[in-house]
């Protein structure tokens, strides 16, 4: 009798525990030239500036939790010294399901004549909406600048999302 109660108790407990859905991320993005930007020179040395910008991106590959990655908006603050930049930002991604992912990132890159040549970043998912509420994840991207001022990024990583009850 005790064994039957134990099994029944484990079945009830198992049905109320929220299990996580997890997966890998392999995305490709094309980001337009910044639609909004402002740069302020820093007087401590030549070719030093702080810049803030916002840009839109479109996914050409990738999915999360069964939904295709669609588009996103990045808002970034950069410290630019000559042809090198370091920065951080927030990227809000929308999937074709309408759910959103909130991603924070730290970036580094090289520039020439004020245009990005190459870059890389480390990112972390802090939350989401809809099926992606309470999502977590991390990964990295590598990017290259294009002649028209846009950039192309390849991103990899992993994520987990609590399953709804």
* Radius of gyration for the chain, computed over Cα atoms and rounded to the nearest angstrom: 21
The neighbour count for residue 119, using CB atoms within 10 Å, is 19
Query: How confident is the model over 12-31, as pLDDT tens digits?
Result: 333 333 456 899 999 999 99
Domain residue ranges in the chain:
20-162
Q: Could you name the CATH architecture of 20-162?
A: Beta Barrel (2.40)
Query: How confident is the model over 53-87, as pLDDT tens digits?
Result: 999 999 999 999 999 999 999 999 999 999 999 99
Q: pTM (2 decimals)?
A: 0.85
Q: Is the dihedral of CA 38, 42, 47, 49 positive or negative?
A: negative
């Amino acid at each position: 009798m005790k064994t039957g109660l134990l099994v029944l108790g484990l079945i009830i407990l198992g049905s109320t525990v929220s299990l996580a859905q997890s997966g890998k991320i392999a995305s490709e993005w094309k980001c337009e030239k910044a639609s909004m930007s402002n740069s302020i020179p820093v007087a401590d040395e030549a070719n030093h500036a702080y810049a803030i910008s916002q840009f839109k991106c479109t996914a050409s590959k990738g999915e999360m939790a069964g939904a295709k990655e669609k588009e996103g908006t990045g808002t970034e603050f950069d410290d630019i010294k000559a042809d090198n930049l370091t920065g951080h930002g927030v990227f809000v991604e929308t999937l074709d399901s309408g759910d959103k992912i909130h991603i924070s990132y730290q970036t580094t890159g090289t520039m020439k004549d004020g245009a990005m040549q190459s870059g890389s970043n480390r990112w972390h998912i802090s939350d989401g909406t809809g099926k992606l509420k309470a999502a977590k994840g991390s990964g990295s991207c590598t990017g290259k600048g294009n002649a028209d001022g846009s950039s192309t990024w390849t991103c990899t990583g992993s994520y987990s999302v609590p399953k709804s009850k």
